[in-house]
Amino acid sequence: MQSTNWAPEHSDALREYLAKGMSYSEIADAINAKFKTAYSRNAAIGRAKRMGLAGRNRPKDLPDHWPKRPPKTEQLRLHKLSERHAAEFMRPMPVFEIAQTVKLRCVPIVPRHLSLFDLEAGDCRYPYGGDEEGEAISFCGHPRRKGSSYCAPHFHLTRGPGIASERAAGTVSLRLVEAA
């Protein structure tokens, strides 16, 4: 990457070539040939901007081979086009409705409320508590169902209604359980 510190004679040459109406690539080539440097077109543009020489007013008279600016009608047409499509990107504010209270499912079992350290290998790991800040979490502790981490009532509670193929086809949802 080239240093941004241009020698004063290089900056003077840039100013002179800009006054002659040369393009930035021509200016970079001329300065490189004259001073044996390796400035790029972008380096010349950047230096001209830092010197306050580049801007909207440059160049004042464009050579014939440069493309002309589009007419004002083209700019107006693009502006109207963007106004027409602006409504597609504006989404309406969602309307929130009051949700009905959900009846929680629970199981007719009294948990043993064991701590994590008191759980044995065959105990149900269905959690209770921990809803409030600092509240301890305890576990059901009844004998587990074979092939599950939960006892039979908690196993069925976590699976939801229907047979396995019906549950697999449905959407995943969280179920709240009321603490006993």
Convert the pLDDT of each residue in 19-73 to its tens digit.
898 999 999 999 999 999 999 999 999 999 998 887 655 555 555 555 665 555 5
Q: pTM for the whole thing? A: 0.35
What was the pLDDT predicted at 100? 81
Listed in sequence order, the DSSP H helices in 90-174 are: 152-159, 164-169
What was the pLDDT predicted at 180? 53
Taking CA atoms, 117 is separated from 31, 123, 143, 151, in Å, by: 79, 12, 16, 18
**Rounded Cα distance, 132 and 136, in Å:** 9
Q: Is the pLDDT of residue 8 over 80?
A: yes
**Rounded Cα distance, 71 and 2, in Å:** 39
